[in-house]
Each structure stands twice: as C-alpha cells, then as structure tokens.
Amino acid sequence: MNTVPQSVADLAADNRRLAWQLALGALLMVGFGYLLVPIYRVFCEYTGFNGTTARIDLGRAATQGIDRSRWVTVEFAANTSADLPWDFRPEVASLRVHPGEMVVAQYEARNRSRREIIGQAVPSVTPGQAAAHFRKIECFCFSRQPLAPGQTLKLPVQFQVDTGLPPGIATLTLSYTFFELPGGRITAAGIRHEVPS
C-alpha cells in the first residue's frame, strides 16, 4: 500500500517497473494465443473432438478381436474444394462392417484440368463421438497426391472401427475433402510438417 510517503523519483520508478511487468504479461498472452493452435490440435487428436480421426499401425489393429454380433454402416463421402478441378468419389456409397474388422474402401480421383495438381485430402468422421473409434491403418490422406492432367487414380483407405464404439452408434460417415496444395505450402505452414492423419 501507498501509505508510506515516497519520493517522486521512487514513485516514477515503481510505476515504470509495474508497467513493464504488465506489458510482459500482454506479450506472453500473444504467445499464448499462438500456443492455443498446437494445444487445440493435440486436444482434438487425443479426444477425437472435431471429427479428428485416430491412426494406428497394422500390428496393433490386428490384435483386436472382431465383434461379429454387431453391424455398423460406414458411409463414404467425397468433396473437393471449390477451386479444385478434380472429380472425386467413393467406389461404393457405404459398407456394412463388424467392429474390429479390417476393411479396405476405394475412392477414385480424376484430374479434369490441363495441369499437374497436387492434392491433399482432409478426413473427418461424424458423429463426433465416433471419431475416436475410427482407426485408419493406411490412407491416401497420409500423403499428398499428385495427379497429371487427365490422370485417374485409385485411392484406397484401410480402416477399422474400434470394438469400443459406443453402443448407440450404428452409422458413421467418413468424409474426405480434397484441397489443392500449392507447391511447398505445407512445409511453410508453421503448424505441422507432416500431413494430417
């Protein structure tokens, strides 16, 4: 408290010190704003929030038993961003699978334009609660996909629905959106250097 009389110079120094401390606080909050980005990503990957799907390797996937008493419908959706001149569609609209079963589904993409385009697919699973129980073992979305003019490419995804899928869920939708990747963009992203999983 300020009840002890102070010299003017002392007070000015006190004021300056406190002001700098507060300014440092503000600066740290700018950093915190940026930190929210990785925090958010880790959080979503961990919890499956926002439809972020999980990725596991074949060895671990194989250890899960298959629950043959239960059927789950997996629907496949395909989108392209507005300015990407590709045709992109799933080979079948949906599959009925057992939880724990290893399944391969096919998509197909064709480059309608006259130039080579590198595409990146971004996956998402709805409903959100199911996302954490949807495991991709191998997916075309793990890497970028270059397509020559007019080229058609088969794009497989190998996945497994976890046996822990909450009982109320009978249908999942796996959706991909393809975006054009301007050359070298992804490494400049500053947020992740590998492709999304």
Partner 1 sequence: MTEIALPQHHEHEHPSGITRWLFTTNHKDIGTLYLLFAVSMLFIGGSFAMVVRLELFQPGLQFVSPHFFNQMTTMHALVMIFGAVMPAFVGLANWMIPMMIGAPDMALPRLNNWSFWLLPFAFTLLLSTLFMPGGAPSGGWTMYPPLVLQTGMAFPFLIFAVHLMGISSVMGAINVITTVFNMRAPGMTYHKLPLFVWTWVVTAFLLIAAMPVLAGAVTMLLTDKYFGTSFFNAAGGGDPVMFQHVFWFFGHPEVYIMILPAFGIVSQIVPTFARKPLFGYTSMIYAVASIAFLSFIVWAHHMFTVGMPLAGELFFMYSTVLIAVPTGVKVFNWVATMWRGSMSFETPMLWALCFIILFSIGGFSGLMLGLAPADFQYQDTYFVVAHFHYVLVTGAVFAIIAGVYFWLPKWTGRMYDERLGKLHFWLSTISVNLLFFPQHFLGLAGMPRRIPDYAVQYAEWNMLSSIGAFLFGASQLIFVYVVVRAMSGHGEKATDQVWEGARGLEWTLSSPPPYHSFNEPPKVP
Residues 191-194: contacts with CB under 8 Å, at least 24 apart: 191/37, 191/38, 191/41, 192/41
| Residue 105 CB contacts under 8 Å (≥ 6 apart), including other chains | 74, 76, 90, 91, 92, 95, 156, 157, 159, 174
The whole-angstrom separation of Cα 78 and Cα 122 is 10
Q: Which of 94, 98, 169, 179 binds partner 1 (CB under 8 A)?
A: 179
Task: Pick the closer one to partner 1 by CB: 150 or 166.
Answer: 166
Q: Which of 67, 94, 142, 196 binds partner 1 (CB under 8 A)?
A: 196
Assess 42 for contact with partner 1 (CB under 8 A).
no
Contact 121, 145 (CB under 8 A): yes
Q: Which of residues 44-103 bind partner 1 (CB under 8 A)?
A: 47-51, 81
Candidate segments 68-76, 103-111, 153-161, 176-184, binder of partner 1 by CB under 8 A: 176-184
Q: Return the structure tokens found at 5.
A: 């009389």
Binding site for partner 1 (CB under 8 A): 1-3, 5, 11, 14-16, 18-19, 22-23, 25-27, 29-34, 36-37, 40-41, 47-51, 81, 120, 122, 126, 128-129, 177, 179-182, 184-186, 188-192, 195-196
